[in-house]
Amino acid sequence: MKNVSKILLTSILTVGIAATATAHDAKMHMKKPQKADCTVMDKMDKDKMMKKDPVLMAMMKKCMKQKMGKMKLQHKEMSEKHNHNEGAEEGQHH
Amino acid sequence: MNIIKTLLVLAIIAVIGAGTMIYSGIVNVAADEPHSAMVYWMLEQTRENSIAKASKDIKVPNLEDADLLLSGGADYNFMCASCHLQPGQKESDMSVGLYPSPPNFAVENDEHSHESNNNEDKSAEAKKHFWVIKHGIKASGMPAWGKTHDDKRIWAMVAFIQKLPELTPEQYQILTAVE
């Protein structure tokens, strides 16, 4: 008997609590996309690199990609400059 | 016979009680007014037991994976950090204003710290996290992300959250940045 009234009392409370439920607006502050700051990677302890740490591997992966991207860009710029100079030289010849 | 009578009386009391709560407007739903200790305890127990039961049969994949961390990091920063914070951050509008308040994943949780001590507990926590991220929590600010994200992306966020307490702000920045 005691148990039954306990259960009932609990259900009264539960209904009461359910009534207090608040649905919050999950509006979020938008974040601006940011490039990875890989300068810290260069300063890092190289001994630690030996470990098979997924966090480290993930950081290296990301920063490697960035470096490759930069190298490609530099390469493109250089070859563009080169072409430009060639063009100028040819112009002087004539 | 007596039992049935008592039950009936209690049922009527329950209906009247519930009706009063629903229609009178005496229940304060303001998020800036905390629950009483008893109500809080009941809600917390209900939530914890519900999540533990619902998530106990989930299989946890290998979470020690760089690609998972990169995917989870970008998603976490974009979708979760406003409420659950990031290394070096103590509070946000959301973390302060929401009630129940979102746990800060950037620090080792006192409540859970004993849990992450061995692998079994770590896996139980991963299951719970996966379930909550996928299904959300009713009547709190925690959305169900499973409606718009597949399981792989959710596991990636679970993997990232697992590492989050040990990340420095600089590591966090690199892992979460989008190129």
Residue B44 lies in a domain: no
Q: What pLDDT is stored for residue A45 in this prediction?
A: 67
Q: 3-state DSSP: chain A helix, strand, coil percent, rounded to 5?
A: 70, 0, 30
Q: Single out the residue of B129, B32, B144 nearest to residue B79, CA to CA.
A: B144
Domain that holds residue B131: 54-176
- CA of residue B19 relative to chain centroid, distance: 30
Would the pTM of this model clear 0.90, i.e. be above it? no
Q: Where are the domains of chain A?
A: 38-94
Question: Inter-chain contact B179–A35, Cβ cutoff 8 Å?
Answer: yes
ipTM value for the complex: 0.77
pLDDT confidence tier of residue B179, bands split at 50, 70 and 90: confident
CB nearest to B29's CB, from A22, A37, A62? A22
Contacts of residue A66 in chain B, CB cutoff 8 Å? Answer: 179
Q: Report, as an integer, the average pLDDT of A62-89.
A: 71
Q: How many separate domains does chain B show?
A: 1
CA distances from B123 to B52, B72, B102 (A): 12, 17, 21
Tell whether the model's pLDDT for residue B55 goes beyond 90: yes
Tell whether the model's pLDDT for residue B162 goes beyond 70: yes
Residue B122 lies in a domain: yes
Question: Inter-chain contact A54–B64, Cβ cutoff 8 Å?
Answer: yes
pLDDT, chain A, mean: 69
The predicted-structure confidence for B102-121, as pLDDT tens digits, reads as follows: 999 999 875 554 444 677 78
**CATH number, position B166:** 1.10.760.10
CA dist., res. B19 & res. A12, Å (int): 10
Residue B11 lies in a domain: no
3-state SS string for A26-71 = CCCCCCCCCCCCCHHHHHCCHHHHHCCCHHHHHHHHHHHHHHHHHH
* Among B residues 137-176, those touching chain A with beta carbons less than 8 Å apart: 138-141, 143, 163, 166-167, 170-171, 173-175
Tokens (6 digits) for B76: 């976490």
Q: Report, as an integer, the average pLDDT of B145-170.
A: 97
Contacts of residue B21 in chain A, CB cutoff 8 Å? Answer: 15-16, 19
CA dist., res. B108 & res. B83, Å (int): 16
Q: Report, as an integer, the average pLDDT of B142-162.
A: 97
Tell whether the model's pLDDT for residue A22 goes beyond 80: no
Q: Report, as an integer, the average pLDDT of B65-74.
A: 96
* Shortest Cα–Cα distance, B58 to chain A (Å): 23
Q: What pLDDT is stored for residue A18 in this prediction?
A: 64
Tell whether the model's pLDDT for residue A33 goes beyond 60: yes
CB nearest to A1's CB, from B3, B18, B94? B3
